[in-house]
Amino acid sequence: MSAVLGVSAYYHDAAAALVVDGQVIAAMQEERFTRIKNDASLPFHAAEACLSVAGLNADDLDEVVFYENPYSKLERVLISNLRTFPMSWKQFPLALGAQLGTKLWVLDQLAEGLGVPRAKVGFRSHHESHAASAFLPSPFEEAAVLTVDGVGEHDTTVMWRGQGSELTALGSLEYPHSLGLLYAGLTAYCGFMVNEGEYKVMGLSSFGQPRFREQFDKLIRLSADGSFELGLEYFAYMTDPALGFGPKLEQLLGPRRPVGRPWDLDSAEDRRFADVAATLQQVTEEALLGLCAELRRQTDASALCLAGGVALNAVANARLLRDSGFDRIWVQPAAGDAGAALGAAMLGSVALGDGRTQLDTMALGTAIDAGRGQAVARSLGLVAERVDQPANVAAELLGRERIVAVANGRFEFGPRALGQRSLLANPAGAQTRDHLNRLVKHREPFRPFAPAVLADRTPAWFDGEENDMTPYMTTVLDVRADKRDELRAVTHVDGTARLQTVRQPASMMRGVLESLERRTGSPVVLNTSLNGPGEPICATETDALGFFVAHRVDALLLDDVLVTRP
Amino acid sequence: MRSGGVHGLGRERCLPLVPLAARIVNPIVWVLPGHAVHKLEQFALAEHGSLLDMTAAANRCEDPDRAAAYLRHALDEGRHSQMFVRRARELAQEQGRPRPGRVRADTEHLFQTLGEVDFLAFVHRGESTGRQQFESYQQWFRSRGDVRTEQLFKALVHDELRHEAYSLELLTDLVPAEQVSAAFRKMWMRDLWHGWLRLGRPISHGVYLAGMLLLYPLLWPFALWVRVVRPRRSGW
C-alpha cells in the first residue's frame, strides 16, 4: 500500500489531499476547519481529517509532498527585491521576514506538525503541482495542459504536454508578467479584496462595455506566440506589499473605487468600473486564447486541461471551449492553490508506481453526523426530526417557494457547493434572488446565482449540452430564451448561467431534481453555497446549524434530519 | 469578547483595573481623530476572533448541550462583530474617512490547546474583562450624548453578562471548586505571559524593521549584479 499526503499552504487557501494506492481518498481546505476564509496556515486540521477518513495514522504515510519549492521561492523573492532596488525598500523587510521567519522552514514544520520523519517530506514545483491536479485526474490519456495563476516560484504561466502519467513542460512565462496578478491588481482597483473578489469582477463584467481597450493595450501586450508582457509601470506588486496597482493605473483608468462603498450600477461612476471589468474580461479571454493557440500548435492535442486560479474564470472557460479549437476541456474544480495539494499528492503517488485515476466526485471532505446534529439542534430549541425521503421533503419545500439549506454527506473540495453543502431555492421566483441577496448572502446586486439541472435535461433548458466542465460549475451556458422567465433567479444579465449538470446516481441533488421535476415539471434548482458573507462554506453539522440559526432560511436538512424553527 | 486584559480571578474576584484603565484612556482613545473608527474595528476583530474560538468549541465538544451553548455564544460574537463594523462605518462616513472593510481575525485554537475546563475559565475571564470595559465606554458615550454608540455598548454589556454567567455555570458543573480556582489561576498567569508577549511584539518588530532598513542600502552591489546575471525575462 502507498499513501501520499499533498499539502498547499502559506499563500492562500491551504489544503491537504490524501491519495492511497493511486485513489484520491480525501481532499480538504483548512478554512473549513478554522472557519477563516481562504486560511493560508499549514493545514494540520485538514491533514488530520484526511487521515481520519482513510483510517490511517501519520506513521502510515509514505510521503508528504509540499506543492512548491520553498528554496526557489525565496530565490525569486530575493531576486525580485534586488531587481527593483531601491523601490523595494518597503517590501524588502516584510517579504524577507515572511520567507526567513516561516516559509523557508515549511518542510521541517510539516514533519514536526504531522509527526513524520523529515526524510519523508518533499516538494514538487508549484506549476507542476497545478498541472498534475489538472491532468492526472482528468478523463484524458493525452492532453495539452495549461497552468495560469498569480505566481509560483518563478513561473506564472506554463504550457505542458500530458501523456499517460507523464507531464512535460513546453514553455513558461516568468514573474512579474502574470495574468493572475493583472486580474488581482484590477480586482483591488475595483474595490474588492484580492483572492476573494475575482469572481465579483467576473460577474460585474457582464454589466459593462469593453470600452477601455486602448488603455488596456498599455497594461498588457499580447504577442503572436501566445506570450504576454505586462506594462509594469502600472503595477506595484513588486514593490508594495499592500497594493497590486500603482498610481499610474489610476492616471490611466481614473480613480480607484473605495472599498466597501455600496454599488449603484445606475451611476456613471460605477458603470465605469463595470466597463473596466468588461475590458479586463475580454483581454483575459484573448490572452488565454493566444496561449491555447500556441499550446495546440505545440501539442496537436484535441483535449485541454486547465488549472491555476485563472482557470476558475467560468466565462473565459466557455469562450475557450467555443473558440480555442480544443474539442474537450477539463478544469480541475479546485483549480486554485488548494487544488495544487491534490496535484502534489498525485505526483507523489505516481512516483511511487501507482497509476492515475479519474476524479468523479468532489465530495472529498468529512461527512455530516446527523445524529449529533439532531441532538445539538434540539438543545438549541429547534425542531429536528428524521424523515424517510429527504430529497422528496426538500423538493416539496422548494415547490412551495421555500429556501432549503442542505448539508449532506461529505463536503466538497474546492470553491463550489455542488449539493453537499448547498442552499437551494426555486429558480423561477421573482423575489428569490433579491431575498437571498438581501437576507442571507448580503452579496453585491450584480452577482448571479447558479442553477443545478438534471444532466439529460440540459438541452431543454440551456443552449448547449452537458460537457466535461458542467458537472463542476466551471463554465457557463446560455439559458434558452424561452426558459428565461422560468429561470429568472439564475439567469445572469448577459443571458448565461454557471450551471451544474447533475448525473451522479443516488446523490441527494439528483433525488431533489427528479422529485422537483415530478412535482413542478422543472428539473432545475437554484444552488448556492451554504455560507454567510465572508465565511467559508459550512463543513460540519454544527456549522450548518449555526448558519440556519443566523439566517432567514426556511429549513435545514442534515442528511435525513429535517431541522425547522418551532 | 476575547480579551487578554490582566485582572482578577473570575467575576467575584475581579480587580477594578480594567474600568479604571478604560476611564483614564477614554478621553484619549475616543477623541483622537480617526481613532474611534479604528478602536471599533479592533473590537470587531476581537469579536470575530472569539467567534472562531467558540465555533471550534461547538464543533469539538462532544456534549450536545454544551456544544449548543458554545454555538449560541459564537452567533452572539458574530453579531457583535457586525454591530461594531456597522458603527465604525457610520462614524467613518460621518468623518469622511475610508469605510472599514471586512474584519478577518486569526485563531489560536484555544479549545484544542487549553482543553475545555481552562477554555471555559478563559472565556469567563475574557467576558468579564470585556463587560467592564464596555460598561466604562457606555458611561463615557452617555456623558458625551452619543446615544447610538452608548446603545451599542449597552446591548453588548447585556450579552457579556449572559456569557459570563453561563461560562461560570458550565465550569462549576464540569469540575469541583478547587479545579475551577486552579483554572482561573492558570488563565491569570497565561494572561500575564501573553500581555508580555503582546508588549514585546511591536518592540521586536520595530527593531527588526530598523535593522533591515539599515541593511537594505548595503544591497546595492547585489542589485547591480542581479540586473546583469538575472535580467527580467519576457516571453517563452
Please check the confidence at residue B1 and state whether its pLDDT lies above 70.
no
A262 versus A164: the higher-pLDDT residue is: A164
A223 contacts B71? CB cut-off 8 A? no
CA distance A127 to chain B (A): 15
Contact residues, A window 6-25, toward B, CB-based 8 Å cutoff: none
Q: Rounded to whole angstroms, what are the CA distances from A342 to A50, A69, A129, A335?
A: 12, 16, 8, 10
Please check the confidence at residue A413 and state whether its pLDDT lies above 60.
yes
Please check the confidence at residue B80 and state whether its pLDDT lies above 50.
yes
A34 contacts B219? CB cut-off 8 A? no
**Residue A216 lies inside a defined structural domain of this protein:** yes
- Its domain, for residue A393, covers 365-564
- Its domain, for residue B28, covers 11-229
**Residue A203 lies inside a defined structural domain of this protein:** yes
In our burial notation (b when 16+ CB lie closer than 10 A, e otherwise), range B10-41 reads bbeebeeebbebbeeebeeebeeeeebbebbb
**Residue B65 lies inside a defined structural domain of this protein:** yes
Please check the confidence at residue A405 and state whether its pLDDT lies above 50.
yes
Please check the confidence at residue B2 and state whether its pLDDT lies above 70.
no
Helix, strand, coil distribution of chain B in percent, nearest 5: 80, 0, 20
Residues A371 and A391 in one domain: yes
* A210 φ/ψ angles, rounded to the nearest 5 degrees: -80, 65
Render A176-220 in DSSP notation, one character per residue: T--HHHHHHHHHHHTT--TTTSHHHHHHHHTTS--TTHHHHHHHE
Residues A192 and A106 in one domain: no
- Domain termination site, one of A321, A355, A389: A355
Contact residues, B window 51-110, toward A, CB-based 8 Å cutoff: 51-52, 55-56, 58-59, 64-65, 67-69, 71-72, 74-75, 78-79, 89, 98-102, 104-107, 109
Residue B3: per-residue pLDDT: 46
The three-state DSSP-derived secondary structure of A432-464 is: HHHHHHHHHHCCCCCCCCEEEEEHHHHHHHEEC
The neighbour count for residue B156, using CB atoms within 10 Å, is: 25
**Residue A495 lies inside a defined structural domain of this protein:** yes
> Among B100, B7, B120, B101, which Cα is nearest to B53's?
B120
Per-residue DSSP letter, A221: E
Residue B6: per-residue pLDDT: 29
Provide the number of structural domains found in chain B.
1
**Residue B47 lies inside a defined structural domain of this protein:** yes
The answer to whether residues A145 and A167 touch, using CB atoms and an 8 Å cutoff, is: yes
Residue B146: per-residue pLDDT: 92
Contacts B223 to A, Cβ<8 Å: 82-83, 85-86
**CATH classification of the domain holding B158:** 1.20.1260.10
Residue B34: per-residue pLDDT: 82
Provide the number of structural domains found in chain A.
3
The three three-digit cell numbers of residue A500, written as one number? 451544474
The three three-digit cell numbers of residue A442, written as one number? 448580503
Residue B103: per-residue pLDDT: 87
pLDDT tens string B24-56? 777 777 888 888 999 999 999 999 999 999 999
- H or E segment at A524? strand A524-529
A540 contacts B89? CB cut-off 8 A? no
Contact residues, A window 44-103, toward B, CB-based 8 Å cutoff: 79, 82-83, 85-86, 89, 92-93, 96-97
**Considering chain A, what is the average pLDDT of its residues?**
95
Residues A282 and A430 in one domain: no
The neighbour count for residue B229, using CB atoms within 10 Å, is: 8
The three three-digit cell numbers of residue B184, written as one number? 482561573
Mean predicted confidence (pLDDT) in A69-87: 95
Dihedral angle over CA of A20, A26, A30, A36, nearest 10? 180
Residues A343 and A382 in one domain: no
A437 versus A106: the higher-pLDDT residue is: A106
pLDDT tens string B118-170? 999 999 999 999 999 999 999 999 999 999 999 999 999 999 999 999 999 99
The three three-digit cell numbers of residue B195, written as one number? 500581555
A34 contacts B64? CB cut-off 8 A? no
Residues A412 and A526 in one domain: yes
Mean predicted confidence (pLDDT) in A274-288: 98
**Residue B148 lies inside a defined structural domain of this protein:** yes
pLDDT tens string A420-471? 999 999 999 768 888 888 878 888 878 889 999 999 999 999 999 999 999 9
**Residue B6 lies inside a defined structural domain of this protein:** no
CA distance A56 to B83: 44
**Residue A360 lies inside a defined structural domain of this protein:** no
Please check the confidence at residue A98 and state whether its pLDDT lies above 60.
yes
**Residue A217 lies inside a defined structural domain of this protein:** yes
**CATH classification of the domain holding A75:** 3.30.420.40
pLDDT band, very low/low/confident/very high, at A124 (cuts 50, 70, 90): very high
Residues A311 and A454 in one domain: no
Mean predicted confidence (pLDDT) in A404-428: 97
CB pairs under 8 A between A and B: 116
Mean predicted confidence (pLDDT) in A341-345: 98
pLDDT tens string B97-126? 888 888 889 888 999 999 999 999 999 999
Give the mutation candidate from B51, B82, B232, B233 for the A interface (greatest A CB count, under 10 A): B232
**Residue A165 lies inside a defined structural domain of this protein:** no
**Residue A122 lies inside a defined structural domain of this protein:** yes
The three three-digit cell numbers of residue A50, written as one number? 484526511
Place of cell 501520499: A4
**CATH classification of the domain holding A502:** 3.90.870.20
Render B89-128 in DSSP notation, one character per residue: HHHHHHHTPPPP---------HHHHH-HHHHHHHHHHHHH
Residues A272 and A370 in one domain: no
Residue B4: per-residue pLDDT: 40
By mean pLDDT, which of A26-30, A96-100, A276-280 is the weakest? Answer: A96-100
With a cut of 0.95, is the ipTM above it? no
Residue A274: per-residue pLDDT: 97
Residue B16: per-residue pLDDT: 57
Residue B102: per-residue pLDDT: 83
Residues A308 and A344 in one domain: no
Contacts A171 to B, Cβ<8 Å: 236
Give the mutation candidate from B80, B216, B229 for the A interface (greatest A CB count, under 10 A): B216
CA distance A200 to A187: 8
A258 contacts B99? CB cut-off 8 A? yes
Chain-centroid distance of CA A15 in Å reads: 12
CA distance A132 to A135: 5
A380 touches chain B (CB under 8 A): yes
CA distance A452 to A438: 22
**Residue A560 lies inside a defined structural domain of this protein:** yes
**Residue B236 lies inside a defined structural domain of this protein:** no
Residues A319 and A433 in one domain: no
Mean predicted confidence (pLDDT) in A402-414: 97
**Residue B5 lies inside a defined structural domain of this protein:** no
Residues A508 and A413 in one domain: yes
Residue A430: per-residue pLDDT: 66
Q: Rounded to whole angstroms, what are the CA distances from A447 to A315, A475, B115?
A: 13, 15, 42
CA distance A343 to A125: 10
Please give the residue of chain A at the shortest CA–CA distance from B208: A93
Q: Helix, strand, or coil here: A551?
A: coil
A354 versus A1: the higher-pLDDT residue is: A354
Q: Helix, strand, or coil here: A290?
A: helix
pLDDT band, very low/low/confident/very high, at A260 (cuts 50, 70, 90): confident
CA distance A394 to chain B (A): 25
The three three-digit cell numbers of residue A233, written as one number? 509601470
Residues A526 and A379 in one domain: yes
Please give the residue of chain A at the shortest CA–CA distance from B99: A260
Contact residues, A window 156-185, toward B, CB-based 8 Å cutoff: 171-174, 176-177
Residues A382 and A490 in one domain: yes
pLDDT band, very low/low/confident/very high, at B13 (cuts 50, 70, 90): very low
Mean predicted confidence (pLDDT) in A502-529: 95
Which residue from B219, B226, B236 is facing A225, i.e. has the nearest CB?
B236
Please check the confidence at residue A193 and state whether its pLDDT lies above 60.
yes
A174 contacts B56? CB cut-off 8 A? no
The three three-digit cell numbers of residue B97, written as one number? 474617512
